[in-house]
Amino acid sequence: MAKKETQEFQFVVYNTMTQQKEVFKPKTPGKVRMYVCGVTAYDFSHLGHARAAVSFDVLYRYLKHLGYEVTYVRNFTDVDDKIIRRANETGEDPISLSDRYCKEYNIDMSDLQCLSPTHEPRVSDHMEQIKDMITQIINKDFGYVVDGDVFFAVDKFPNYGKLSGQKLENNRAGERVAVDSRKRNPSDFALWKAAKPGEPSWDSPWGPGRPGWHIECSAMSAHYLSFKFDIHGGGLDLIFPHHENEIAQSCAACEESDVSYWMHNGHVTNNNEKMSKSLGNFFTIRQITERYHPLALRYFLINAHYRSPLNYSVVHLEGASDAVFYIYQTLKDCQDALLQLQEEMPNDGKPARITPDAKECISKLRNEFQVKMSDDLSTSLILTGAFLEALKLVNNLLTMLKKKQQKQQRLLVIQSLKEIENEVMKVLDVLGLQPPWSYNEVLLQLKEKALTRAGLVEDDVIRLINERAEVRRNKDFLKSDQMRAHLQAKGIALMDVGTETIWRPCVPVQQDSEIVPSEGQKVPPKPESAKECRS
């Protein structure tokens, strides 16, 4: 892949600071420095956390795909009011509790095929950097000390609100902190909190205590990326006050502080209400992946533009699962065929000759992928159109192989299959949908999840298939159809292929028709199975 974007496909991103799309140009040619706000680790992570992680993982993958050397930093907040509160409830040490949930988060990220960031700093490991930055802020008269607490004086920073457009009077110190009458201005926010009984604390020039919420990201981003870097990301809910306060702190500590692009992913909603732990309307990643394959969840998450709201619904998860099964069934059938035909493939080192249809298909897929991804990561538009056409052509070519052909034409078909498969895999790799397991393993895992949702085990399905075969031998086709419909309502499709009946997952036929997609969210098309396409 080219080491930089071509003129035809300049990478454009939406910058929250300017509220418009801009051509991406890193501060250092060939290198990208990116910081993304991570989770406050006190519980299992929910779907909103998964969306943020997957959105910026796609960005990370695409930047690497473009040839950039990327330094990606995503933090863990392991010192926080919520962590302390949960630790007091469970009788655990706060740092130990948070460490446990940091590890659980990374397990979820691995399941979702998210690449590990370059650095994953934790607040508890960076107290010296935090205290040093607070000292700089105080020395430059942007901070003041009251009884061991340190506050940022927002009146001293005239550009406060430039990211969010919010006015000072709207800042409630981050919602995590009660209004304090000792502040010079009610909008001032805590940089350092004096120690309280029963809370973890660290020594500082202002007395024992711990950091406020916002200072951690300013200190850690500066430590790993310097005060000048390319991308700062996070959820929409972080624009104000968290990112607004980060800008104030960082600029107060270093006048030359500068982030080129502020990028934010949209909320995940449940019945059109923002999904969050505080509202109690969330689903953890684990709750979803117990019933749906992580690849299906990832497909669901990227099937809407990252800046658009994403409405949680079983309908869309079912559709995503069905689409993923179709993708990997097609790829498995293609791979199986190519393995059997290895001896017929030339090994002369010459460029592969392919059919005109295959050449056009590959060109269209490559072009559509670059156009859509370069336009602010429009992933929701990639998994339709040329991508599905490529899978359909694979199935058509596999069907052609079953027919008698001249040797030269047969060779064109075989090489076309290989070239299309390679192009499809490149797309899946950048989207994070190329699994570490074999295609067959993915299909078996998807089938196991479908059985879980149906409340069945495979022996139940085999028994019903055998019973239906007996019913068909007795020519009771009405009952046969009823048995098939009964399983289809549970998300199990029976397919009669010759004298054999096989099964695969499907979208249950009885769904809530009132659930509609969010703006920008695509309903995954319901493809035929790869087997049905060729039967």
- Give the pLDDT confidence score for residue 509 in this predicted structure: 85
**What does the pLDDT average to over 445-453?**
98
| pLDDT confidence tier of residue 451, bands split at 50, 70 and 90 | very high
Q: Are residues 410 and 470 in the same domain?
A: no
CATH number at residue 109: 3.40.50.620
What's the confidence (pLDDT) of residue 531? Answer: 42
Both 359 and 235 in a single domain? no
Q: Calculate what percentage of the chain has a pLDDT beyond 70.
A: 90
Is residue 136 one of the residues assigned to a domain? Answer: yes
Number of domains in the chain: 3
Residue 474, SS3? coil
Q: Which residue has the higher pLDDT, 180 or 148?
A: 148
Q: What is the pTM of this model?
A: 0.91
353 or 273, which is more confident: 353
Same structural domain, 214 and 120: yes
Predicted confidence at residue 533, as pLDDT, reads 35
* Least confident stretch, 51-60, 89-98, 167-176: 167-176
In this structure, are residues 297 and 317 in contact, taking their beta carbons and an 8 Å threshold?
Answer: yes
Q: Are residues 240 and 376 in the same domain?
A: no
Would you say residue 459 has pLDDT above 80?
yes
Tokens 């969840």 sit at which residue?
Answer: 297
Residue 508 has pLDDT above 90, yes or no: yes
> Among 134, 152, 117, which Cα is nearest to 219's?
134
Which two structure tokens, joined as six digits, stand for 59? 């960005």
Lowest mean pLDDT among 88-92, 212-216, 346-350: 346-350
pLDDT reading at 532 higher than 50: no
Residue 22 is assigned to a structural domain of this protein: yes
My answer on whether 406 and 482 are in the same domain is no
- Whether 87 is covered by a domain: the verdict is yes
pLDDT at 517 over 80: no
Residues 435 and 448: their CA atoms lie apart, in Å, by: 17
pLDDT average, residue stretch 517-535: 45
Q: Which residues pair with 193 in a beta bridge?
A: 210
Give the residue with greater pLDDT, 179 vs 255: 255
pLDDT greater at residue 526 or residue 180: 180
Tens digits of residue pLDDT in 377-404: 999 999 989 999 999 999 999 999 988 8
Q: Do 80 and 210 reside in the same domain of the chain?
A: yes
Mean pLDDT, rounded, of the chain: 91
Lowest pLDDT segment from 233-242, 415-424, 518-527: 518-527
pLDDT of residue 41: 97
Q: Does one domain contain both 359 and 269?
A: no
Range with the poorest average pLDDT among 133-137, 222-226, 274-278, 334-338? 274-278
Residue 459 forms part of a structural domain: yes
pLDDT given at position 169: 62
Residue 305 is assigned to a structural domain of this protein? no
pLDDT of residue 117: 98
Q: Identify the band that residue 73 occupies on the pLDDT scale cut at 50, 70 and 90.
A: very high
- Of 306, 303, 234, 301, nearest to 266 (Cα)? 306
Burial class (CB in 10 A: 0-12, 13-18, 19+), 128: exposed
**Percent of the chain whose pLDDT exceeds 90:** 82
What is the domain extent for residue 424? 332-346+353-441
> Do the domain assignments include residue 295?
no
In a domain, 518, yes or no: no
Cis status of the peptide bond prior to 241, with omega within 30 of 0: yes
Considering Cα of 310, then 313, then 317, then 319, what sign does the dihedral take?
negative
Regarding whether 155 and 232 lie in a shared domain, the answer is yes
Give yes or no: residues 67 and 207 share one domain: yes
What integer pLDDT is reported at residue 510 of this predicted model? 66
Q: Is the pLDDT of residue 5 over 50?
A: no
Residue 122 lies in a domain: yes
Residue 276 pLDDT greater than 80, yes or no: no
Distances 461 to 328, 408, 490 between C-alpha atoms, Å: 22, 44, 11
64/94 same-domain check: yes
Q: Do 100 and 197 belong to one domain?
A: yes
- What pLDDT band is residue 176 in, cutting at 50, 70 and 90? very low
Same domain (yes/no): 123, 265 = yes
